[in-house]
Amino acid sequence: MTADFSMQPRSQQEWSWLVAMDLFLGGLGGALFLFFVFLKLPAAVGLLSLGLVTAGGLVLLAELGHPARAWRAICRPFSSWISRGVIFVLLFLVTGSLTVGPLLASFSWLPWAPDTLGGKTLGMIAGVSALLVTLYPGFVLAASPSIPSWNTPLLPVLFFSNSVMGATGILLLFSSIGFWSQSIAELNALATLLLIANFVLLLVYLLVLGNSGISAKESVRRLREGSLGWVFRWGVVLVGTIVPLLLVVLLPSAAALAGACVLAGGVLFRYCVLEAGVYVPFALT
Amino acid sequence: MDGPENPGAGKNQGSLRPRWGMAIDLKRCVGCQSCTLACKLENGTPPGTFWMRVLEKEEGVFPLARKVFLPVRCNHCNNPPCVTVCPTGASYTREQDNLVLINQDKCIGCRACVVACPYQVRFLAGDSKGYYGEELTPYERTAYQNWQPRTAQKCTFCVHRLDQGLGPACVQTCPTRALIFGDLNDPESEISQVMRERFRWQPRAELGTDPSLYYLP
């Protein structure tokens, strides 16, 4: 009993792999849809982004203690980021589907083609909701005052940048089957830029945590040492950042492998952030 | 009188609603865990769930080593982060007395409140498992009917007892009277008097949660 009742710092145990997958898939799908809308990519990209966000929602449902009551999650949009997120996801799935629909052969009869006023309006709403879907996962974590490594404005920025990088990973992975209609050199350049920017943001995040309170420092220590440190160093940094960076710069023909590495790194990054979420320990003063 | 036997019998006759709170005298706490057990008996919580517990820590080195104790439980904050993050309104503040409670029928089991609580005093109830193997004891069978598996759980300040004019079970049990419970809005209550006389601090006050729990060092 003494061990359980000690005052030592402990990390949260509630959110793990499933939540990491939900955060990853939601952000990834939203960011991919942004590429789809703004770069006018093929309908398959839009469909995939809708599928990813749907999959993220299903994973979240599986994580809930009472999935049948999930409809209640839209009740508190003025205070809860989970509530807002569910509303963003629903709005995105509706407007995104309506935007992608006319591009598909079997639904080409729909009157709101992308070049019509209705189509443009829908596309804009879907784009904004996709942006919100990409942004909200970081805010869900940042809203917890109990965990200093989450409760920082840097985390939503980092999650957003990682999601955009992950979307580039999808485009790299499927570039050979026509997901990217422009030159592969442009995609590699974009991926290089995002990989470097994301890595710099990650370093800034760790640097800020390392210079914060005892609990944030403990989070950084857990990311550097032990089994979680192993996952972070080899999974997030090496496989998720350095290897794809080398591939897109030195071996452009291995774009699919680089994309797969970016995606693996994205999942592991979220897992590491969750596992390294250390509560502020109890103090006697 | 405003002791644990009759916390609602204060002299707060003004317009202020009661705000139940607790002061914990750390000089009196001997770490006996009576409060932990009283809470378990009163509320029938399952293994691994402790709405009330006394943390312990060793300080100093031999021959001057000693153990220090810190009873922790839901702080019934005035600005509770667990309520803010709840997407369904299952976690709420009861208007009549500022108690932070959970409507289990609304809880979807997302764990956001468990994660958001800076005091680590929320639990997600597991599926009903007893202390003595697979089969529940008659007491456990009865007690477990009070909570739904896979919903958030926490200390209620024994709201069912408060509504009957009684104090929380832990307060009644504490052999050293380290737990002082009462109405923070009643200037005549024992807790208000103690708080006027003693230095006290609120846990993690810097977060702006304004806990209704004070430690008296």
Q: How far apart are CA A44 and CA A33, in angstroms?
A: 10
Q: What is the per-residue pLDDT for B3?
A: 45
Q: How far apart are CA B178 and CA B71, in angstroms?
A: 10
Q: Is the peptide bond before B63 cis (omega within 30 degrees of 0)?
A: yes
What DSSP state is assigned to residue A233?
I
A171 or A7, which is more confident: A171
Find the mean pLDDT for residues B42-52.
90
Pairing of strands B20-25, B52-59: unpaired
| Angle at which helices A43-63 and A81-100 cross, to 10° | 150
Q: How far apart are CA A95 and CA A125, in angstroms?
A: 7
When pLDDT is cut at 50, 70 and 90, the band that residue B199 belongs to is very high
Q: Minimum mean pLDDT among A4-18, B37-51, B87-101, B200-214: which range?
A: A4-18
Cβ of residue A2 closer than 8 Å to a chain B Cβ: yes
Q: How far apart are CA B42 and CA B160, in angstroms?
A: 10
Min Cα distance A233 → chain B (Å) is 26
Interface contact A144-B120, CB threshold 8 A:
no
Q: What is the CA radius of gyration of chain A?
A: 20
Type of residue at B126: G
Q: How far apart are CA B132 and CA A263, in angstroms?
A: 46
Q: What is the per-residue pLDDT for B184?
A: 94
Q: Helix-strand-coil percent breakdown of chain A, rounded to 5?
A: 75, 0, 25
Angle at A151 between CA A145 and CA A153, to 5 degrees: 140
Please write the tens of the pLDDT for every residue from B172-195.
999 999 999 999 999 999 999 999
Type of residue at A80: S
- Return the C-alpha torsion angle A23, A28, A34, A35, nearest 10: 170
Angle at A203 between CA A201 and CA A205, to 5 degrees: 70
Find the mean pLDDT for residues A135-145.
94
The average confidence (pLDDT) of chain A is: 92
Q: What is the per-residue pLDDT for A75?
A: 85
Q: How far apart are CA B196 and CA B198, in angstroms?
A: 6
Please write the tens of the pLDDT for every residue from B94-105.
999 999 999 999
- Beta-strand ranges (E) seen in chain B are 20-25, 52-59, 66-73, 91-93, 100-102, 123-124, 152-153, 179-183, 213-216
Chain B residues near residue A146 by CB distance under 8 angstroms: 81, 115-120
Whether residue B9 has pLDDT greater than 80: no
State the CB neighbour count (10 A cutoff) for residue B148.
18
Residue of chain A with shortest Cα separation from B91? A76
* B100 phi/psi in degrees, rounded to 5: -95, 115
Q: Minimum mean pLDDT among A112-116, A207-211, A272-276, B30-34: which range?
A: A112-116
Q: What percent of chain B has pLDDT over 90?
A: 69
When pLDDT is cut at 50, 70 and 90, the band that residue B10 belongs to is very low
Q: What is the per-residue pLDDT for B186?
A: 93
Interface contact B114-A14, CB threshold 8 A:
yes
Tell me which residue in A12, A82, A145 faces B87 most closely, judged by beta carbons.
A82
Please write the tens of the pLDDT for every residue from B133-176.
878 899 988 988 888 889 999 999 999 999 999 999 999 999 99
Kind and range of the H or E element at A222? helix A214-224
Tokens linked to B88: 């369904």
Q: Minimum mean pLDDT among A97-111, A150-164, B94-108: which range?
A: A97-111
Find the mean pLDDT for residues B38-43.
94
Pairing of strands B52-59, B91-93: unpaired
When pLDDT is cut at 50, 70 and 90, the band that residue A179 belongs to is confident
A162 or A79, which is more confident: A162
When pLDDT is cut at 50, 70 and 90, the band that residue A63 belongs to is very high
Tokens linked to B33: 């865990």
CB B112 within 8 A of CB A82: yes
Cβ of residue A70 closer than 8 Å to a chain B Cβ: yes
Find the mean pLDDT for residues B69-91.
95
Strand, helix or coil for residue A43: helix
When pLDDT is cut at 50, 70 and 90, the band that residue A281 belongs to is confident
Chain A residues near residue B74 by CB distance under 8 angstroms: none
Find the mean pLDDT for residues A33-51.
93
Find the mean pLDDT for residues A119-145.
95
N residues, chain A: 285
Whether residue B5 has pLDDT greater than 60: no
Q: Where are the domains of chain A?
A: 8-284
The average confidence (pLDDT) of chain B is: 89
Chain B residues near residue A279 by CB distance under 8 angstroms: 118, 120
Tell me which residue in B56, B88, B217 faces A76 most closely, judged by beta carbons.
B88
In chain B, the N- to C-terminal Cα span, in Å, equals 24
Q: What is the DSSP string of B135-178?
A: SPPHHHHHHGGGS-TTSEE---SSHHHHTTTPPPHHHHH-TT--
Distances A177 to A44, A184, A256, B59, B148 between C-alpha atoms, Å: 10, 12, 10, 64, 50
When pLDDT is cut at 50, 70 and 90, the band that residue B128 belongs to is low
Whether residue A26 has pLDDT greater than 90: yes
Enter the CATH code of domain A8-284: 1.20.1630.10
Find the mean pLDDT for residues A150-177.
94
B123: nearest Cα among B43, B180, B63: B43
Q: Minimum mean pLDDT among A1-15, A233-247, A269-283, B153-167: which range?
A: A1-15
Whether residue A175 has pLDDT greater than 70: yes
Tokens linked to A41: 């990519």
Tell me which residue in B54, B70, B109 faces A66 most closely, judged by beta carbons.
B109
